[in-house]
Structure 1
Amino acid sequence: MSLTDSAGYVLAFDVGTRMLGVAIGHPLTGTARALATVNVHHGKVDWNRIDGLVREWQPVAFVVGLPLALDGSEQEMTGHARAFGEQLGKRYARTVHESDERFTSKEAARRFAAQRAQGSAKRKHGADIDALAAQIILESWFSSPRNESTAP
């Protein structure tokens, strides 16, 4: 069964050195929304927070943004994102998909600025932008023809 035929949610992560942005989405609708942020202290992820999100949303799969260089090559953060994805897969026994996240931070900042101009966002807050970046990663992954891999 392909993930796009699935009736479950997908959690997406924007991996950073101090914070993870988290978004939730549904493959049937192809829509996503910013959900939360998870703290990272000295390289250690707050797994208790992620445990709570997984219990609450019961995702069928995860998407992790891969921070690639502009030319598509890997950089130091790419390795951190891949390692986080491997930990997710082992911890929750679900499929982890990777998605190119080039330009998502800039797009998240642009969307946040637009929300602020409309009055729906009060001030620039890094956590909000991280979660919004995760939303953009998931929206991009849903719209990609390469997301045809199967769910567990």
Structure 2
Amino acid sequence: MTEKNKTPQRLLGFDFGSKSIGIATGQMITMTAQPLLAIKAQNGIPNWENLGRLIKEWQPDMLIIGLPLNMDGTEQSITQRAKKFANRLQGRFGIQIALQDERLTTASAKEFIFESGGYKALDKGKVDSVSAALILESWMSLYKHL
């Protein structure tokens, strides 16, 4: 994406966690997101080479990172770590980023997965990637109303 004001078309969404980072892809044309995978992280730090390959493969115009907040909207300890992750993504890959409030996405993801596959389907990686898809859909919904 060369122009700052151009609407991003291809998106990657991230559900940041200290042990696992969920990733999803989305498109503004269809306003839909699909869970991709969850990658392991050590203290919030992913394997940057693997993440770089994923970004090269999907070629997103923008990266949307979930911002974990308390229910009252205040920040928690992981909020700053998610912001740092977002800044590192932008610095390493030069792709525009946006932060999206992610309150309740994990609970919604668990509910969605449980409804479609029962308790045994509640795999941590699947929950994280579905959470990333919900973060993306939430961002797209807000963006289209701007």
CA distance in 1, matches of 2:22, 2:135: 10
User: Tell me, which stretches of 5 or more residues in structure 2 are unaligned?
Assistant: none
Identical aligned residues as a percent: 32
Distance change in 2, residues 1:145/1:61 (3 Å): closer
Deviation of 1:37 after TM superposition, in Å, equals: 1.0
CA distance in 2, matches of 1:84, 1:39: 14
User: Quick check: 1:141–1:147 contact (8 Å CA) kept in 2?
Assistant: no
User: Quick check: 2:15–2:129 contact (8 Å CA) kept in 1?
Assistant: yes
User: Quick check: 1:3–1:27 contact (8 Å CA) kept in 2?
Assistant: no
Aligned to 2:14: 13
Aligned residues between the structures: 143
Aligned to 1:136: 134
CA distance in 2, matches of 1:41, 1:109: 23
CA distance in 1, matches of 2:136, 2:34: 9
AA partner of residue 39 (structure 1): K
Distance change in 2, residues 1:106/1:3 (3 Å): farther
TM-score (ref. length: structure 2): 0.90
Distance change in 2, residues 1:127/1:3 (3 Å): farther
CA distance in 1, matches of 2:21, 2:55: 14
SS at match of 2:24: strand
User: Quick check: 1:68–1:78 contact (8 Å CA) kept in 2?
Assistant: yes
Point out 4+ residue stretches in structure 1 off by more than 6 angstroms: none
Distance change in 2, residues 1:60/1:85 (3 Å): same
TM-score (ref. length: structure 1): 0.87
* Superposition RMSD in Å: 1.8
